[in-house]
Structure 1
Amino acid sequence: MATDRELLRRLDLNLLVAFDVLMDESNVSRAAERMSVGQPAMSASLARLRRFFGDPLLVRQGRSLVPTSRALMLVEPIREALNSIESTLNAGRHFDPLTSTRTFRLMASDYVLLLLLGPLLVHLSDEAPNVRFQIHPLTADHAELIERSQLDLLVYPDELMGENVPLRSSALFTDRIVCAVANDHPEVGEVMTEEQFRTLPCVSFGGSPTDTISDLRFRQLGIDRPVAIRAQSFVVQPLLLPGSRLITPLPERLGRYLIERIDIRLVDPPVPLAPLCEAMFWSPRSDTDPAHQWLRKRLSHAAAQLD
């Protein structure tokens, strides 16, 4: 009997792609939309795949389609085959940023966008005038989006990514966690006490699909702070401080950017908080893509300039 890998050698490349998208979406209409084909064409591809593998692959469960055990066994070898093909094709491509019209899809927090990506993209407007960038806010499925080639690059704290994520990564920059308060805060002087740190009402970031570095650090210290406001933006947090008793933890680089623009000041936390490390993450299939290599190199250079 032929093995799965032997079967894959006999299968049309377009059907491999169709299988990968169908397994990812578990929905014929969405898979058709992603592949820019009509639903009848995608249904025909699914029928061919079912005949080829001798298995229904997707079966109805309630109102949804779910993959069969056989389909789940095929997902990894087919994805590996597609990654290998894509890497081989990318390795032979030439990339000229001056003439390229490529669109890169990036995901990052507004803090990273403000301090790193924004200035970088302005700088690249001369080097790559027709290259476009789509910046997406953080979502919980960021790793899956990269694996499904719906995202080119993610900038995210490496400590929050989790273990066994099949992505490449490279550190970009580190930042201290400090506290920001109103310039005329009625209680906090030049030095914040641990009692103030633990009890003053806090503005916390609530726009992350997972814990933030600040959440993680406080939990590590066994600190349960009173949260008065959950903001959906890192940049908005300090804007809520003037005229209030509120405090907020935030990356020092962001704080130093904002103290020149709003009436706040920075104080060191009274307890040790380990710094955060922002890293970029990408799919292994993009390793040899000259365009992706160019983008990673520019991003690394821009991060180095922050210091």
Structure 2
Amino acid sequence: MRFKGLDLNLLVVFDALMETHSVTRAAERIGLTQPATSAALRRLREFFGDPIVVAVGKRMHPTPFAEALHPQMQQALRGVERAIATPSTFDPATSTRRFRIIGSDYIMVAVLVPLIERFACTAPGVRLEIIQPNEHSVAELEAGRADLLVTPEPFLASWHPSEVLFEEEQVVVGWAQNPIFARGLTENDFYAAGHVTVAFGADRTPAFADSTLSRMGRERLVEVTVGSFASAPWFIEGTPRLAVLHERFVRQIARRFNLAWAPLPFDFPKMQEMMQFHQSRTGDVGLDWLRQQMREVAAEVA
């Protein structure tokens, strides 16, 4: 099929070349012979008037034009893929659909673990794939490689629909034998202690509480920074260190670690935990059902 003179099958070849940087591997990915893939590359070059990929040593590297074009082509292909793969009806009792959710280990503990327990009875064939957030999370949603992004409001993409999953308090967490919890945590106690903070991805994006505290202007003594919420208790138990974590998460992990917690000794905003999906997924009945299940579980946990 052609669209404005372009064979649309070439878009699949273009995407595979951009992902693999190799004619051979692109051919394997899309099920073509290497000569057929090379011929498709020649046709792409002729149509766009650009080399698309060039050989540097033993690898093919995209041209600047191809790099700029790729996100748009990906979005078009993922839209077609979703349109074909998404059924018009959804029966959770018989569905074997897999949902890919980008969410932290906090969301896993607070919502997704009880959600899977619910599915054992109501949707035994439904599967979840949980992806840790990083600096590419919005791009993953944009490219169709995730169904749902669960994140605090400041980290949303403004151009896609979102909704509140729940509101969350932040609490100060420490070792249960730390005397400051018995006598009553003060602001001076908080800032005098060493702290454990959480940051995600290669860009080390701080968690909601840590980024909010940084903006408040008073410096903390950060002794340890970890890449997940679940790592923090290992650096707290048996020490005078503190961390600021989500209350739902703390209530779950406190049963497994010897921890105590208290409200922050100063005013601190509530966090709005949001669910976001791609604009093109509006009307996806399976995704609508999943979001409703998550809202119900979040309300029950609260």
Shorter-chain TM-score range: 0.7 to 0.9
Flag structure 2 segments of 5+ consecutive residues without an equivalent.
Answer: none
Q: Distance between the aligned counterparts of 1:65 and 1:40, measured in 2?
A: 19
Alignment length (residue pairs): 298
**In the alignment, which of 146, 156, 174 is matched to residue 151 of structure 1?**
146
Q: Distance between the aligned counterparts of 2:284 and 2:257, measured in 1?
A: 42
| 1:223-274 per-position Cα deviation (integer Å, ceiling 9, x unaligned) | 2211222233312323443332111111111222233443322112122221
Shift of 1:16: 2.5
User: Does structure 1 residue 195 correspond to structure 2 residue 191?
Assistant: no
Q: Give 1:173's aligned amino acid.
A: F
CA contact (8 A) 2:198 2:228 kept: yes
Shift of 1:172: 0.7
Which residue does 2:207 correspond to in 1? 212
Question: How large is the Cα RMSD of the aligned pairs?
Answer: 3.1
CA contact (8 A) 1:176 1:251 kept: yes
Shift of 1:80: 5.7
Which residue does 2:134 correspond to in 1? 139
SS in structure 2 of the partner of residue 271 of structure 1: coil
User: Does structure 1 residue 118 correspond to structure 2 residue 116?
Assistant: no
User: Does structure 1 residue 282 correspond to structure 2 residue 277?
Assistant: yes
Shift of 1:187: 3.9
Q: Distance between the aligned counterparts of 1:38 and 1:176, measured in 2?
A: 57
Go from structure 1 to structure 2 and tell me whether the alpha carbon gap of 1:228 and 1:91 turns closer, same or farther (over 3 Å shift): closer
Shift of 1:118: 0.9
Q: Distance between the aligned counterparts of 1:49 and 1:41, measured in 2?
A: 12
CA contact (8 A) 2:173 2:244 kept: yes
Which residue does 2:240 correspond to in 1? 245
Which residue does 2:100 correspond to in 1? 105
| Counterpart mapping for 1:21-170 below 5 A | 21-23=16-18, 28=23, 31=26, 35=30, 42-60=37-55, 65-69=61-65, 71=66, 74-75=69-70, 78-79=73-74, 81-82=76-77, 85-86=80-81, 88-89=83-84, 93-161=88-156, 164=158, 166-170=159-163
Shift of 1:75: 4.7
SS in structure 1 of the partner of residue 177 of structure 2: coil
Go from structure 1 to structure 2 and tell me whether the alpha carbon gap of 1:235 and 1:64 turns closer, same or farther (over 3 Å shift): same
Q: Distance between the aligned counterparts of 2:129 and 2:234, measured in 1?
A: 26
Segment drifting more, 90-99 vs 240-249: 90-99
Segment drifting more, 236-245 vs 277-286: 236-245
- Relative to the length of structure 2, the TM-score reads 0.83
**In the alignment, which of 270, 275, 289 is matched to residue 265 of structure 2?**
270
Segment drifting more, 119-128 vs 84-93: 84-93
CA contact (8 A) 1:106 1:133 kept: yes
| 1:128-186 per-position Cα deviation (integer Å, ceiling 9, x unaligned) | 2222222122222111122222222221112133x65x433222111111101222213
CA contact (8 A) 2:78 2:144 kept: no
Which residue does 1:3 correspond to in 2? none
Segment drifting more, 72-81 vs 249-258: 72-81
SS in structure 2 of the partner of residue 151 of structure 1: coil
